[in-house]
Amino acid sequence: MRVALDATPLTLSSGGLPRYVIELSIALAREFPEDTYSLLSDQPFQMPERAPVNLVRGRPPHSAAERRWWLWGIRRAIRQNGAQIFHGTNFEVPYLGQTPAVLTIHDLSPWREKAWHDAASRVRRRTPWLLRLRRARMILTVSEAVRTEVIRHFGASPDRVRTVPLAASSHFRPISPTSPAQKPFFLFVATLEPRKNVAGLVEGWRESRAETNADLVIAGRNRADFAAIPPCEGLHLLGEVSDRELPRLYSDALAFVYPTHYEGFGLPVLEAMQCGCPVITSRDPAVMEVSGGAAIHVSSAHEIADAMRVVAGNPRLRNVLKGCGIRRAGAFSWSRTARETRAVYAEVLGNGG
């Protein structure tokens, strides 16, 4: 099988979208060495590290016409790579053409709340038309919660919408302490954007700090539409942190606190769990689905504060949450994601593999 995937998310330096394309494409190429997987984009991007030989870079646009990427350029690139199927990894597929397409819809945040996505007007406008015109033979979602939303919001036929869950990357694992005891801290890791409820996190931490004596560490790329966090004693803003550093942060934290308003999956929750970090997170349906009872769930800043107090003061509870989280993260793998995704490709092509 020859498959083309949209590599445009790889133009981002971090976040769930590039993680999805990197891990999925590598896992597909490894699980199915007889296939060829081409990454296509009209923008410069870095190929994934450790890319197998059957994961290749597609040809970029070479003319003014081809730079009208989703109308003309992508069709030419698909033909030149001999792809039998195209996977739109980020809400878009080609507007025209005969090549069958699969579309991933990660969440409905562009439609749920306009303030959550300042720059999503194109997605809000175009994705519904692509679905109405049935340009995607099959729609992939990353959780059952989002599958239900897609069916209800877009009127999609249930037999055209499949859930294929994600996983934490294999490099997320517990790391034993190698330095003297440091000041305890709670951790937040994600792209800093409006729907992540960072203001509620900071408020809850401030309310509980006198009892926990813990700092708050916030790591992640700051999106342009995110309101800056005022400086405060004990609050550490690390900015974007490399994948090499994240397992250490997760392993050292008292807990990972992720009070997000809305998610399609909530990948940082699994990353923290796989590192043995206790998790405090929201009651968002997708996050509750992914955490599977292995986290403490909160709704308000006051509940965040209460959970921080309980976790900081109860080492036994932290150990219980650590064990539950590691077991829960073990239920997911990128190999499984790749196998289930390719099964959808095969179904669309009508050949069973």
Q: Do 191 and 111 share a structural domain?
A: no
Of 108, 104, 124, which Cα lies nearest the Cα of 6? 104
Q: Do 216 and 104 share a structural domain?
A: no
**Contact call for residues 65 and 72 (beta carbons, < 8 A):** yes
Q: Do 127 and 201 share a structural domain?
A: no
Structural domain contains residue 227 = yes
Q: Do 338 and 320 share a structural domain?
A: no
Q: Do 218 and 200 share a structural domain?
A: yes
Structural domain contains residue 176 = no
Of 302, 306, 192, which Cα lies nearest the Cα of 255? 306
- 73 lies in which domain range? 2-167+333-349
The tokens describing 231, both together, are 């400086």
pLDDT tens for the chain, residues 1 to 353:
999 999 999 998 878 899 999 999 999 999 999 999 999 998 999 999 889 999 999 988 777 777 777 777 888 889 888 999 999 999 999 888 889 999 999 999 989 887 777 666 778 888 888 888 888 999 999 999 999 999 999 999 999 999 999 999 999 999 987 666 679 999 999 989 889 999 999 999 999 999 999 999 999 988 888 888 888 999 999 999 998 999 999 999 999 999 999 999 999 999 999 999 999 999 999 999 999 999 999 999 999 999 999 999 999 999 999 999 999 999 999 999 999 999 999 999 995 44
Structural domain contains residue 178 = no
Q: Do 161 and 12 share a structural domain?
A: yes
Residue 178 confidence (pLDDT): 64
- Alpha-carbon gap, residue 297 to 258, rounded angstroms: 9
Q: Do 147 and 246 share a structural domain?
A: no
Q: Do 157 and 190 share a structural domain?
A: no
Q: Do 305 and 162 share a structural domain?
A: no
Structural domain contains residue 174 = no
Q: Do 203 and 246 share a structural domain?
A: yes
Non-local CB neighbours of 116 within 8 Å, separated by 6+ positions: 109, 110, 193, 194, 195, 261, 262
**How many C-beta atoms surround the C-beta of residue 280 within 10 A?**
27
Of 189, 307, 330, which Cα lies nearest the Cα of 248? 189
Q: Do 193 and 146 share a structural domain?
A: no
Structural domain contains residue 157 = yes
Structural domain contains residue 73 = yes
**Contact call for residues 165 and 332 (beta carbons, < 8 A):** yes
Residue 352 confidence (pLDDT): 46
Q: Do 210 and 141 share a structural domain?
A: no
CA 197 to chain centre: 17
Of 315, 305, 345, 310, which Cα lies nearest the Cα of 89? 345
Residue 141 confidence (pLDDT): 98
Q: Total domain count for the chain?
A: 2
Residue 148 confidence (pLDDT): 98
Residue 347 confidence (pLDDT): 96
CATH for 145: 3.40.50.2000
**Contact call for residues 3 and 84 (beta carbons, < 8 A):** yes
Cα of first residue to Cα of last residue in the chain, in angstroms, is: 8
